[in-house]
Structure 1
């Protein structure tokens, strides 16, 4: 999913920031480990590529995603990680914990996403009410869906709630259903910073690549 350089990426408050190329990624994958905190202008094709393999019993070990570096898109690699009954693709610079069902920015763990598999017969209204109760402590809870999410990987989410605390830190509560029909709850935390929007973009692509093992 390509976008023109510096095209504004957010339509909703603080979901993602406008593209910034001030501190681009280094050229090699390994360099990402020391530069992910200053990631800029990021987009990805992880979810699209993984959905193509949804009907396959074996998913590819890697998938590529694109980063905008100085106005050009450069392919990078995301690696298939095995969770508890599911798998998903995780980009360089991010750590996945199977034991905790959690992804975090390797050098900055406060940027993280918690994964919870939902039962097949979960009640969306009940889970939505639970989410609002959880987020209320941070501030006003807002709900977004469809075109309000613009080109976000989460645009097909069944539910996306968001609250921002007094420091501007973002807390997202997302219900996602994969191509296979399995549903998950994602709790995404992004402390306020110039790269919070980029973190949300990358982590959203990882989360939306999730598929149940069976």
Structure 2
């Protein structure tokens, strides 16, 4: 009996020890969060650079003021075409002082129109009236007093496709002379030739004459030059183009393919032989208006 009590006491002691051990043991926790846990993370945002807005290039032009299309838009004729311009800030006063037909110099910017890659919005930033060329001749053809100091550009009256309009030409210098040349043409000084840009078969070849030239001898020379083209005609004063009033001699011959002219131009600065080549074609009419006006502005260098 005593032995059984001893065993019972031992068993109770073991159970008590085990119970106390269980109560004192705490489960271990992993303080290190596993990779890929749902811990919030701060993401670095890409740095956005401010967009650079390119400034519009300011362009310059000259033309004829055709009037206002509406309170915010005006029309200017330039290089044979009418163009519409939006009014920039502060231009109301400048526009109010203009009349239709006034020759103007202006500055403007271009901006692409959204949705139309070919269209551009033109906005005036400056406009002012300029004086058209006059020298006492009809239509201001010579551009200034003969023999005087010449400006870099000059505005002239032209008749194109039956309509009168004003266009600006640029001073160009050849061998011993100068003249005003319009945008559709260029002067090639090494050839002493003014030619149409789109087709250089339309041209005028210029030769400065000595002061003692003989008009009768020049007529014989011209008739010989033109004989291969066809029958040579000498135009009387009434038949000579109005734009070329300084012509002393005007010979012409035509074929089915072209017209050639031999012209002697003379003014107070000197005389010139001009050989004009005009193929039969669409540009012929416009070319003649441009070239005769340019030839009327011929001046020998001092």
Q: What value does the CA root-mean-square deviation take over the aligned residues?
A: 2.6
Residue number in structure 2 paired with 1:206: 294
Distance verdict in 2 for CA 1:135–1:61, change over 3 Å = same
From 161, 164, 168, give the equivalent of 2:254: 164
Checking the alignment, whether the CA contact within 8 Å between 2:172 and 2:181 is kept in structure 1 is: yes
Which one of the candidate residues 182, 204, 208 is aligned to 1:117?
A: 208
Which runs of 5 or more residues in structure 1 are unaligned? 1-23, 29-43
Is 1:97–2:152 an aligned residue pair? no
Name the CA shift for 1:140/1:179 in 2 (closer, same or farther; >3 Å): same
Q: Corresponding residue for 1:148?
A: 239
Query: CA offset at residue 200 of structure 1?
Result: 1.1
CA distance in 1, matches of 2:159, 2:223: 35
The structure that has the greater radius of gyration is: 2
Number of corresponding residues:
172
**How far does residue 198 in structure 1 lie from its aligned partner after superposition?**
2.2
Q: Which has the higher strand share?
A: 2
The aligned counterpart of 1:26 is 81
Aligned to 2:142: 50
CA distance in 1, matches of 2:221, 2:161: 42
TM-score, normalized by length of structure 1?
0.72
In structure 2, which of residues 269, 274, 295 is the aligned counterpart of residue 186 of structure 1? 274
What is the distance in 2 between the residues matched to 1:134 and 1:70? 31
In structure 2, the gaps of 5 or more residues are 1-78, 84-131
Residue by residue, what CA displacement relative to the aligned partner does 1:97-148 show, whole Å, maximum 9, x if unpaired?
1111100001110000000011111111111101100100001000002112
Contact 1:82 1:98 (C-alpha < 8 Å) held by counterparts? yes
CA–CA separation in structure 1 for the residues paired with 2:167 and 2:246: 24
* Distance change in 2, residues 1:203/1:69 (3 Å): closer
* Contact 2:158–2:166 (CA under 8 A) maintained in structure 1: yes
Structure 1 position 82, deviation (Å): 1.2
Aligned pair 1:175/2:267, yes or no? Answer: no
Secondary structure at 2:221 match in 1: helix
**Change over 3 Å in CA distance of 1:136–1:61 after alignment to 2:** same
TM-score, normalising length: structure 2: 0.52
Q: Which structure ranks higher in relative contact order (CA pairs < 8 Å, sequence separation ≥ 6)?
A: 1
Contact 1:159 1:174 in 2 (8 A): yes
